[in-house]
Amino acid sequence: MTDTPPLSTDTKDGLHHQDIEHIFGVNGPLSAALPGYRPRQAQTEMAKAISDAIAGQKTLLAEAGTGTGKTYAYLAPALLWGGKVIVSTGTKNLQDQLFLRDIPTIKKILKAPVSVALLKGRSNYLCHYHLERTQQNGRLTSREDVGYLRDISRFIKTTMTGDKSELSRVPETASVWSLVTSTKDTCMGTECQYYQDCFVMKARKEAQQADVVVVNHHLFFADVALKDTGVAELLPSANTVIFDEAHQLPETATLFFGDTVSTSQVLELCRDVHAEGLSHARDGAEWSKLVASVEKAARDLRLAFPQDIVRLSIDQIATSSPFFEALDTLKDSMSDMIAVLEKQAERAETLEQCRARAIMLQDQIDNWNAEPKDAAKAGDYVLWVEAFSVSLQLHRTPLSIAPIFNKQREGVPRAWIFTSATMAVKNDFTHYVSQMGLWNEPAFTWPSPFNYQEQGYLYVPDGMPDPNSRDYADAVINAALPVITAAKGRTFLLCTTLKAVRFSAERLREEFEQRGLNFPLFVQGDAGRTELLERFRNSGNGVLIGSQSFWEGVDVRGEALSLVIIDKLPFSPPDDPVLAARITAMEKKGMNGFVHHQLPEAIINLKQGAGRLIRDEADRGVLMICDPRLISKPYGKRIWQSLPGFARTRLEADVVAFFERLSIESSVQPSAKV
């Protein structure tokens, strides 16, 4: 792996390198159109490498440090090259940002004659049929949902897209959405009376006709697994596939290349069977009694584990556990329900749909722990269960996604671009490459243009206890308080567990009150992520406490965020069944599970968390990592060498003095501008 790619004089038929230098140069169109734009060599070189990969229909891994401007570096060559481009992002928020802001901006600046479409999963689009059905059957129980349904009924008359993100008044988490959107199982397809007006079909049609289609990773891989998102029809004609936030792909692909079935799905099916049976075949069966036995079996399966939250591989479940008997009972009761549906299905399309769903669910449950037909493939998957407060999921997860993903990349030659700020460990892509099966593909790192040595500190407090000790969570808050005070709030406290989030929030609330510190506290779970971030930005001196979902994809520029505190190194929990199985498989090959998997995974996660602090050239701040293993363990050096090149200290006094200097500078600046 090399740090910078070799330059060719130009691409074979596409954009010449001098064209790219002009686009990103001092007198180029970006500089003329974007206030505060500065040419960055890393951005220009990255755009050249991507242009070459598109022209040669090659694969490229491109890691670009924060501030490189990677979005424009891949959009400019992709939009100007021609042909069909699929851009896949990490989240729906980033998808919207690309579609609504970034692509229109670069398209306008470069006068690129391309059409652009946004494609999301079907659960994001209103369904005329299900909305009408919900309005008619009056199954809503809460006054809140009734109000939301009224809003949705008005919205469907004016919206062009049916995208629920346009209706911000109804929270994305509102339960009413599941009643007014379709799934693959509940879609009526061409039989639906509203087929011509269907928002899902319109979105797919637009995507098929567009030059550039913006999707997200969940959608992309759901399609590969389920063939239900419209991406399957797009891929054959795509010249270029670009994965932004590509570090998320291994986890997303693992989710979709595996198989998951839950008791919640069974209970939803029972709800629909009961409603449709009474509507269309009241005399066909004792519907209440029939579904009651399936519902009881599903609930008993969950109750096989008395604990609140459980994650166990099948090997960890005792043979004496009631789980296996409860699983058999669920299979039997599902068979009884299917037998009735077989006889009644022809009486209504919706009953036929319930029958098909029931068979599919039963197949998933049967296949979960069935002996594989190909004995050689038995070890390729790990079987495990995950219990939540009211539901239980059965998972069948592949140990490696590399062979499955590589199969998807076979066939028509096209460019595959993988880009992120965090794919490598100290410029070494081995871990990512092995996860994705991208062996022998060119991989390059372009460093961030920021001057981290001048812009911030990496602070590891002295005297911290072992992270596994009982008093560690208290020690984190004790060490954090004087630094939060010096920073005048403006803090992210990123925790590795939700338990730590709750504990930290409780302690800080008490401490702020006792010390008379007027720092607004924003805690994950109190509101949605977008709303919490908005409140944090507007407060100017807030403290936000969050876990995994705040470690990445969060952009707070300027003084509003001057301190990022990380409570522990983000190692995956050792009791995770998939991780344990992967480590066992690696160790059978003579590899070290910690060195080759857990450590690089933690470093990539930590780089994401650290990346929240410095977002542009003017940002200043402190990254505080409380975990003493960063200093005390031999692997600690490998970790901090992978982080941005901040000045380093172990002294609280250095950090306090840094914030005092910042305070003096910011108070002097206004008068200097007069």
User: Which tens digit of pLDDT belongs to each residue from 148-203?
Assistant: 999 999 999 999 999 998 998 888 878 899 899 998 778 888 889 999 999 999 99
Count the residues in the chain. 674
User: What's the confidence (pLDDT) of residue 411?
Assistant: 80
What is the domain-level CATH number for residue 663? 3.40.50.300
Same domain, 515 and 620: yes
Same domain, 247 and 283: no
Q: What are the φ and ψ backbone dihedral angles of 444, each rounded to 5 degrees? A: -135, 150
What is residue 660's predicted lDDT score, i.e. its pLDDT?
93
Distance CA 475, CA 176 (A): 43
Asked whether residue 129 is assigned to any structural domain, the reply reads: no
Q: Where a domain ends, among 363, 398, 433?
A: 398
Mean pLDDT, rounded, for 18-47: 94
Q: What is the pLDDT of residue 100?
A: 92
**CA–CA separation, 146 vs 152, rounded Å?**
10
pLDDT at 111: 94
Same domain as 663, residue 559: yes
Confidence category of residue 673, pLDDT binned at 50, 70, 90: very low
Q: What is the rounded end-to-end Cα distance, in angstroms, of the chain?
A: 50
pLDDT of residue 351: 92
Judge if 251 and 264 occupy the same domain.
Answer: no
Residue 378 has pLDDT above 70, yes or no: no
For the residues 288-310, what does the mean pLDDT come to? 92
Euclidean distance between CA atoms 300 and 306, whole angstroms: 11
Is 5 a domain residue?
no
Percent of the chain with pLDDT over 70: 94
Q: Are residues 114 and 42 in the same domain?
A: yes
User: Are 433 and 511 within one domain?
Assistant: no
Domain membership of residue 172 (yes or no) is: no
Distance CA 396, CA 383 (A): 5
Mean pLDDT score, 370-398: 81
Q: What percent of the chain has pLDDT over 90?
A: 70
φ, ψ at 182 (rounded to 5°): -110, 165
Strand, helix or coil for residue 641: helix
pLDDT at site 440: 94
Average pLDDT of the segment spanning 489-514: 96
Tokens of 251: 């986890």
How would residue 599 be classed by pLDDT, with cut points 50, 70 and 90?
Answer: very high
pLDDT computed for residue 379 by the predictor: 60
Whether the Cβ atoms of residue 115 and residue 209 lie closer than 8 Å to each other: yes
The mean pLDDT value for 90-115 works out to 92
More confident site: 574 or 94: 94
Q: Which helix (H) or strand (E) holds 385?
A: strand 381-387
Q: What is the pLDDT of residues 433-449, one digit of tens each?
A: 999 999 999 999 999 99
What is the pLDDT at residue 374? 57
Whether 345 and 391 share a structural domain? yes
Is 413 contained in some domain?
no
Q: Say whether both 228 and 263 belong to one domain.
A: no
- Residues 6 or more apart whose Cβ sits within 8 Å of residue 45: 4, 5, 7, 446
pLDDT at residue 565 greater than cutoff 50? yes
Look at residue 280 and tell me if it is in a domain: yes
Is the same domain home to 663 and 588?
yes
Spatial separation of the C-alpha atoms in residues 560 and 492, rounded to whole Å: 10
The stretch 384-399 carries a mean pLDDT of 92
Q: Are strands 84-89 and 443-446 parallel, antiparallel or unpaired?
A: unpaired
Q: Is residue 159 part of a domain?
A: no
Give CA–CA dist 62/1, Å, rounded: 11
Q: Is residue 189 part of a domain?
A: no
Average pLDDT over residues 66-85: 93
* Confidence (pLDDT) at 525: 86
The DSSP bridge partners found for residue 494 are: 546, 566
Between 217-231, 390-404, 471-485, 623-637, the lowest mean confidence (pLDDT) is in 217-231
Which whole number is the average pLDDT over 300-318? Answer: 89
Is residue 229 situated within a structural domain? yes
pLDDT score of 246: 96
Question: Is the pLDDT confidence value at 376 over 70?
Answer: no
Strand duo 456-459 + 84-89: pairing = unpaired
CATH number of the domain encompassing residue 262: 1.20.120
Distance separating alpha carbons of residues 132 and 247, to the nearest angstrom: 41
pLDDT bin (cut points 50, 70, 90) of residue 261 is very high
Per residue in 325-370, pLDDT tens? 999 999 999 999 999 999 999 998 889 989 999 999 999 999 998 8
Residue-wise pLDDT for 39-60, tens only, equals 999 999 999 999 999 999 999 9
- Residues in contact with 92: Cβ distance below 8 Å, sequence separation at least 6, in sequence order: 120, 124, 165, 216
Kindly provide the b/e burial profile for residues 422-458, where b requires at least 16 CB atoms within 10 angstroms of the residue's own CB.
Answer: bbbbeeebebbbbbbbbeebbbbbbbbbbebeebbbb
Structure tokens at 137: 């059957």
Tokens representing residue 396 in the block = 């069948």
Query: Is 9's pLDDT higher than 60?
Result: no
C-alpha span between 90 and 43 (Å, rounded): 21
Residues 485, 554: one domain? yes
Q: Which of 9-14's residues contact partners 24+ apart within 8 Å by CB, and which partners?
A: 11/51, 11/52, 11/54, 11/55, 11/56, 12/55, 12/56, 13/55, 14/51, 14/54, 14/55, 14/77, 14/80, 14/81
State yes or no: pLDDT of 133 exceeds 70. yes
Instruction: Give me the mean pLDDT over the 139-145 stretch.
Output: 79
Determine which of 271-280, 368-377, 527-536 has the lowest per-residue pLDDT on average. Answer: 368-377
pLDDT at 4: 43
How many structural domains does the chain have?
A: 3
Per residue in 236-258, pLDDT tens?
789 999 999 999 999 999 988 88
Tokens representing 452 are 């981290």
Check pLDDT > 80 for residue 430: yes
Predicted local confidence at residue 665, as pLDDT: 78
| pLDDT greater than 80 at residue 227 | no
Q: Which residue has the higher pLDDT, 10 or 209?
A: 209
Quick check: 62 pLDDT over 70?
yes
**248 and 277 in a common domain:** no
pLDDT at residue 10, as a whole number: 40
Site of tokens 């795509």: 238
Q: Which domain holds residue 633?
A: 452-673
Domain-ending residue, one of 366, 398, 430:
398
The verdict on 296 and 226 lying in the same domain is no
Mean pLDDT over residues 477-484, rounded?
A: 98
Cα separations in angstroms, 596 against 179, 332, 403, 572, 602: 45, 44, 19, 13, 11
Confidence (pLDDT) at 7: 36
One-letter amino acid at 549 equals S
Average pLDDT score, the chain: 90
